[in-house]
């Protein structure tokens, strides 16, 4: 079995996530290579989808580029909590019914009339937000958390997962839903479950480079326990020149979203602390992981104050002691971030 040294493993992971040398790509090309962007409403600095795309595309990226790809070009689609390539949606719909929690299936079965009402309303009146659709559910969705009594939102989420409805765009922050047949391509191919799951697993492994499970080549990584799976194409280029750079990442970035993997593979200890009391935070409310070359080297605690026109930098946390070139690269990237946001940097 092939044994990778830590630097090879880190570079495979960073390169797979398009975080080595920045190249000219479109929004659709980036999402296709990453396979998905996680959607999250938190915008302490900028929404996660925008941070991910800026970190790959640079200053030329604007949110309108993403909106164009989603709503005009239709090369991308928002499905559940992710932005995905439209070309993958058949694979996603092929796997969703089997992977949807049994509780959701049971709740949907108990609300057949509610489902029919919503679909009929969309059919007759066209695309609408959840707030515009009537709540006629027979059995309310019961939860002790975020979704309690949000019956229309929950129904639309389940129907999206099952391919009955689709997100056609947004009005401000609100998703707009329509019948899936009016959003997805008419020749959409939904393959058998096993074929779709295999294809998605291969694409997801290619986007990660290395993962604990998957259909790739078994390898070990020095300094870590157990086996890994490597994408064959990434493995073939493991010793290629690595033109690294500095980047600030969203806490939901796929390089760090699996905290255990980030610790094992990249030696990066990180927890998103926005749900912790302020006094218990080590790095900040929405600290951005800092990448330099093939290493995650710290966290940026900053907040965009758009009313004041400033990016407030509360702290830059160094993991270890930075060499001068690392500090210089981080300062340059901080200036680039503020410029992209149209804000001035203020310390403290």
pTM (2 d.p.)? 0.94
Read off the pLDDT of residues 67-95 as tens digits, 9 standing for 90 and up.
999 999 999 999 999 999 999 999 999 99
Residue 23 has what pLDDT? 86
What are the structural domain ranges in the chain? 1-74+207-348, 93-182
Read off the pLDDT of residues 151-177 as tens digits, 9 standing for 90 and up.
999 999 999 999 999 999 999 999 999
Read off the pLDDT of residues 45-63 as tens digits, 9 standing for 90 and up.
999 999 999 999 999 999 9
Residue 50's nearest CA partner among 272, 346, 342 is 342
* Residue 289 φ/ψ, nearest 5 degrees: -60, 145
Separation of alpha carbons 188 and 28, rounded Å: 18
Q: If you write DSSP's letter for every residue of 258-317 in order, what string do you get?
A: SHHHHHHHH-------TTS-GGG-SS-TTPEEEEETTEEEEEEEEEEETTTTEEEEEEEE
**CATH hierarchy code of domain 93-182:** 1.10.10.10
- For residue 182, how many C-alpha atoms fall within 13 Å in the half-sphere facing its CB? 16
Residue 178's nearest CA partner among 202, 194, 159 is 159
Read off the pLDDT of residues 16-50 as tens digits, 9 standing for 90 and up.
999 998 888 999 999 999 999 999 999 999 999 99
Q: How confident is the model at residue 146 (pLDDT cuts 50, 70, 90)?
A: low
Query: Could you write out the three-class secondary structure of 136-153?
Result: CCCCCCCCCCCCCCCHHH
Going by the DSSP 8-state scheme, the letter that residue 199 receives in this structure is: H
The strand pairing partners of 178, in sequence order, are: 166
Helices (H), 58-192: 63-67, 89-99, 102-109, 112-125, 151-162
Residue 348 has what pLDDT? 82
């Amino acid at each position: 079995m092939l044994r990778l040294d830590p630097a090879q493993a880190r570079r495979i992971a960073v390169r797979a996530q398009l975080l080595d040398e920045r190249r000219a790509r479109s929004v659709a090309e980036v999402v296709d290579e990453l396979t998905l962007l996680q959607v999250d409403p938190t915008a302490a600095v900028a929404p996660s989808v925008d941070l991910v795309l800026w970190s790959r595309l640079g200053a030329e990226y604007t949110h309108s580029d993403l909106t164009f790809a989603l709503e005009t070009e239709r090369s991308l689609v928002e499905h559940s909590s992710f932005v995905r390539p439209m070309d993958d949606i058949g694979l996603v719909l092929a796997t969703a019914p089997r992977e949807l929690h049994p509780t959701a299936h049971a709740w949907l079965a108990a609300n057949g009339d509610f489902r029919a009402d919503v679909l009929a309303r969309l059919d007759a009146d066209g695309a609408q937000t959840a707030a515009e659709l009537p709540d006629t559910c027979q059995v309310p969705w019961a939860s002790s958390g975020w979704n309690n009594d949000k019956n229309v939102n929950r129904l639309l989420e389940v129907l999206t997962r099952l391919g009955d409805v689709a997100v056609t765009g947004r009005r401000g922050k609100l998703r707009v839903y329509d019948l899936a047949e009016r959003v997805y391509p008419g020749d959409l191919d939904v393959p058998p479950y096993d074929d779709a799951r295999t294809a998605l697993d291969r694409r997801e492994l290619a986007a990660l480079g290395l993962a604990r499970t998957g259909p790739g080549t078994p390898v070990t990584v020095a300094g870590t326990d157990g086996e890994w799976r490597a994408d064959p194409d990434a493995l073939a280029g493991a010793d290629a020149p690595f033109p690294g750079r500095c980047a600030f990442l969203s806490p939901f970035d796929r390089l760090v979203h699996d905290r255990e993997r980030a610790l094992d593979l990249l030696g990066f200890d990180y927890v998103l602390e926005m749900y912790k009391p302020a006094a218990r935070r080590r790095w900040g409310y929405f600290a951005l992981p800092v990448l330099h070359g093939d290493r995650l080297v710290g966290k940026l605690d900053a907040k965009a104050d758009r009313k004041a026109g400033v990016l407030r930098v509360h702290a830059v946390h160094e993991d270890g002691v930075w060499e001068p070139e690392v500090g210089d690269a981080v300062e340059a990237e901080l200036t680039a971030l503020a410029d992209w946001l149209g804000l001035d940097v203020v310390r403290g």
